[in-house]
Structures are given as structure tokens and as C-alpha cells.
Amino acid sequence: MKDPAVSVHLNSEKTLHNGYFGEYGGAFVPEVLAGKLAALAENFHAAMKDQDFLSELQYYLRDFVGRPSPLFLAERFSAEVGARIYLKREDLNHTGAHKINNTVGQALLARRLGAKTLIAETGAGQHGVATATVAALFGLECIVFMGSEDARRQAPNVERMKLLGAEVVTTDAGTATLKDAVDAALGYYIQHPDVFYCLGSAVGPHPYPSIVREFQSVIGREAREQILRAEGCLPDTLIACAGGGSNAIGLFSGFLQDATVTMYGAEGGGTDVAGLRTAATLTRGRPTVFQGTYSYCLVDDAGQAVDAYSVSAGLDYPGIGPEHAYLKDTGRVQYFPVMDDEAIAAFGQLSRLEGIIPAIESAHAIALAGKVLKNTGKLAIINLSGRGDKDMGRF
């Protein structure tokens, strides 16, 4: 493993402005979007230095979202695993997941830019709900793109979006899942440059990976303060699920400079990693340009992106954020596939042991914890990225 200190540049102005994490990132987009993304990057950097903007962001995170989210010692789960495990309770945020941290920030950016309409993609539906929520809060129109298969398996979230006033546009293209929803949203964005694209994960063209990282970094900052207060030391281990990678980079960002903290990302293993019936991008993928950025992607022998598969709609994506690609290559974070059956078992395990029903996405991290922490006695934090209401009755 390379020296974790190599990640120091991730907080630098250079990375934030050029959009690259090592060799990964960039903005590979049509000319019609290039100027719009450059303006977005400029306004994002200005907002991050504007105390009025930052104060307003903190107000909504505190009084609307309900931050800080608790750091909970899961004693019965800890005893069964043989480690001391805390859960960062993003499931307790307003709307039930970490996604709201990012949508509040991006909605404030949209308002700063004078946009009247938010558009978004969604897989599990949590980002769609979070976008519809902030659109209602700020009096903006909202259009959410969703694969028809995801709309079917996440029907409760579709109803929530509609109740909040959003228009839900489904697509039957491809596997009718998250990748196809992103394609549909990008297509609409190109044709309607006056809208604001509220991208839900740390993927896509620059500046989105940096924007999403910044707005999700509140998770890591809080977790760091909370674990030091509770235990008087840093954790040995961090674990989070990784689809596009927003909740994971949010947690990891608070500890990247700490060489003693080991980090793990749980990918959607699906049912057959070797056969590519999987969403384990960093395990089975190769670097390529996909949906506006250069990062790892699941591809065929000809180098074309293939359809991902996971029981989790939120992890069912063939790409990964460019910062995660960089962290994999440097060895700072280790990524492992978690199979569908392992995640489903962990979904029930945490529910029975702690009275907490996790999102199936988060259950992948719970399952990985059961393997890498088994009888180690280590101090760990798992990011519980969302609640499992949406997944009830699916298994």
C-alpha cells in the first residue's frame, strides 16, 4: 500500500479548480455544456468563500435537515462481530438518507445562479426525494429522471416525490436503472441549459465530484469530532457502501490525512462478479471516460460500458466517482464486493440486533464490517447512509 499521505492534495485549490484526482476526473462533455459547467465551478468556488452562503447552508443543515446526525454505539452488533462499532446515523436526517446534505447545498447554488428548475437522476429514489424536498422548500420546479425498473422496485419513493410536487420521468432504456436515468438527465440538461442539474453522487464531469464531496464532507467532520469526544481517539476503521460514492467520500474525507485509520468501501457485488452480473466497479472495472468523467467503469472486451447489476438500486451503477478511483490506485482505501445474499442477511441482522432497519445500500457496509472486523476488537465507524423503509417487502 502506498503512503496515505499522498491524498493530501485532495484538499488543495489545484484539485478543486482543475477537477482531477491524480489522473482521474475532468469534464468530457459537449461544447454546449462546457461553458455552463465552467460557470458552475466559478460560482461554486465563490460560494465556498462567501460567509453569507455558508451561514445559510449551516442554518438549513441544522434546522431543516436536523444535523448533526448522531454517532451511535451499536453494542449488540459489536458483540456479535467482536469489535467496537459505531453507526453514523445519516438515516435520521430529514428524508431518511445522506442525500439531503448535498441537495440543500446545490439548491442554494441554484438559487444563487437564478435557476427556476432543478433536475435530478435517481436510482434508489433517495436523491430524487431529497431534490424534490429542497425544490418544495425553495419554491423551485423539479423534474426527476428514473429508470422504470427502479421506479417499480422503489415505488414508495416515487410516490413521495410526486407528493412533494416533482414530475417523475421514467426511462425504459438499457436496464432501466440508474445509468439510464443519468443518461436521460444529461440529455435533458443539454437541451434545456437554463435548468440546474442537481447531480446526486460524486460522479460526472467537473465540478460535480468536488461539489458533492464538499456538501457531503459534513459527515466526516461530524464523525471525527464525535468519535474523539466519545472514545478520546480516532477510529481504527471506517466502512461505507460505494455506488457512485457520495456517502463514502463524505465520511472518508474527514480522515484521509490520518494514516492510522484504515478505510473500506463496500461495492454492490450482485450475484456474479466474474461474470459481470455485478456493480463492483473498482473490483472488475477499467479506467475509461464514462458520463463526463475519466474513472473506473464496468466495460466489455471492446471497452464499452456494460449494464451493472445489484439488488440495491442505489449501488446499481457501472461507474464510480473519480476520487474513489484515485483512492483505490493509491491504496488509501480498499474496496470489496458484497454479494446480494450477504447484504440481505445483514439487512435483517442489524434490524434484529439494534432495532435499526438499514437501507439495502447501507447493509452492504454492515455485511463487509462483519467480515473485516470479525474478532479484531477494533474501533470502527460504519456510515449508515439511509433507512430501509423503501426496501421493505423486497426480499
Catalytic residues: 99, 121, 385
Q: What is the DSSP string of 221-241?
A: HHHHHHHHHHHSS--SEEEEE
Q: Phi and psi for 239 in degrees, rounded to 5?
A: -140, 135
Paired sense of beta strands 141-147 and 196-197, if any = unpaired
Say which DSSP state 249 is in: H
Provide the grid cell at 68: 448533526
Other C-beta atoms closer than 10 Å to the C-beta of 89 total 17
Residue with cell 436496464: 175
Task: Identify the three-state secondary structure at position 143.
Answer: strand
Report yes or no: 137 and 107 within 8 Å, Cβ to Cβ: yes
Q: What DSSP string runs through 315-371? A: T--SB--HHHHHHHHHTSEEEEEEEHHHHHHHHHHHHHHHS--B-HHHHHHHHHHHH
Dihedral in degrees, nearest 10, Cα atoms 212, 147, 158, 107: 30
Q: How many whole angstroms separate alpha carbon 365 and alpha carbon 377?
A: 18
Distance between CA atoms of residues 33 and 70, nearest Å: 39
Q: Which of 369, 367, 360, 358 is nearest to 314 (CA)?
A: 360
Measured CA distances, 343 to 157, 365, 382 (Å): 21, 8, 14
Encoded amino acid at 25, one letter: G
CB of 108 within 8 A of CB of 217?
no
SS3 164: coil
Closest CA to 265 of 243, 285, 298, 286: 243
Amino acid at 287: P
